[in-house]
Structure 1
């Protein structure tokens, strides 16, 4: 079953909310007077920082294709496959592994009702805004970009052509926002 990126983002958002709920369940709310409230400003959303390690020694799936990183005849790391057309081939990130660190990734809902050369007024809906962190640190990150005949290497008729391999080390400066538009018609 395929879910849209917006549906996946929504699921992650609710999962994070459920994780944080026990911390706020015991919070006490005090009313603010109008004069005190006029001095308060804020924004809704989520601010995230973290370290994400992906398959540093090999993935959890071990079969004829995937294995531990010390097995020379096996592939090591995660695999992400995206089908470009309904009856077309697959774009693949294969053998993904390493560590990503970031601080300041933000998530919030933003209303688009103007801008975009007048298209915003026609759209007039909410989108998910992902605020990119200032710096992302990469440690021993590796992956291959490939074209594949199937999503999984164990599927019948599997054939993959590796386009190029990437190794990343160090810091990348990121600025701006990524807007995730919902599927469907407004």
Structure 2
């Protein structure tokens, strides 16, 4: 072995040892008194990059198809029934991609009437901390009313209300609070 190879192996060994050594640290117990002085926050911090039907969906039938076929819808579909006996509100032909960093999920206790601005409430709520910037890349979808949740269901009729196309950055600030209901 030449001297250069030996020096390289020596340096690689030292670097490897430096990386492994902290992992070998031993855990120690903390007494109840010491632990009572520790505070922290609960919650989840999320970042993501989501692509939806960028190149078309896997389903091809009389309604869905390839994205290059203008006579077909190629994106995802979300359907919501607004009333038990009512029709369906749908987000249809959803496609594109978006990225975000810093969406937080946590619990928050509300024990005031929002300084007189809201109904009295005392309990825990889910708090969604909105990310500062959401980046949209060729995001498209339609908002429509539909007689059925799926276009393949019997009696399907849909009225497209409007189409949305989004490109670029959206700045989001604030929190969204989700309140529990008394009726499950």
TM-score w.r.t. structure 2 length?
A: 0.76
Separation (CA, whole Å) in 1 of partners of 2:27 and 2:172: 37
Separation (CA, whole Å) in 2 of partners of 1:78 and 1:32: 53
3-state SS of paired residue (1:123): coil
Look up the match of 1:127.
Answer: 125
Look up the match of 1:150.
Answer: 148
Look up the match of 1:91.
Answer: 89
- Cα deviation digits, residues 94-116 of structure 1 (max 9, x gap): 00011110000000011121132
Look up the match of 2:6.
Answer: none
TM-score w.r.t. structure 1 length?
A: 0.75
Q: Which runs of 5+ in 2 are unaligned?
A: 1-25
Look up the match of 1:57.
Answer: 55
Look up the match of 1:31.
Answer: 30
Cα–Cα, structure 1 residues 72 and 47, in superposed 2: closer, same or farther, change >3 Å? same
Q: Which runs of 5+ in 1 are unaligned?
A: 1-26
- Cα deviation digits, residues 91-149 of structure 1 (max 9, x gap): 111000111100000000111211323866x5322111000000000001000111111
Q: State the 1:72 CA deviation.
A: 3.0
Contact 2:113 2:121 in 1 (8 A): no
Cα–Cα, structure 1 residues 53 and 29, in superposed 2: closer, same or farther, change >3 Å? farther
Cα–Cα, structure 1 residues 30 and 61, in superposed 2: closer, same or farther, change >3 Å? farther
**CA root-mean-square deviation:** 2.5
Size of the aligned set, in residue pairs, is 158
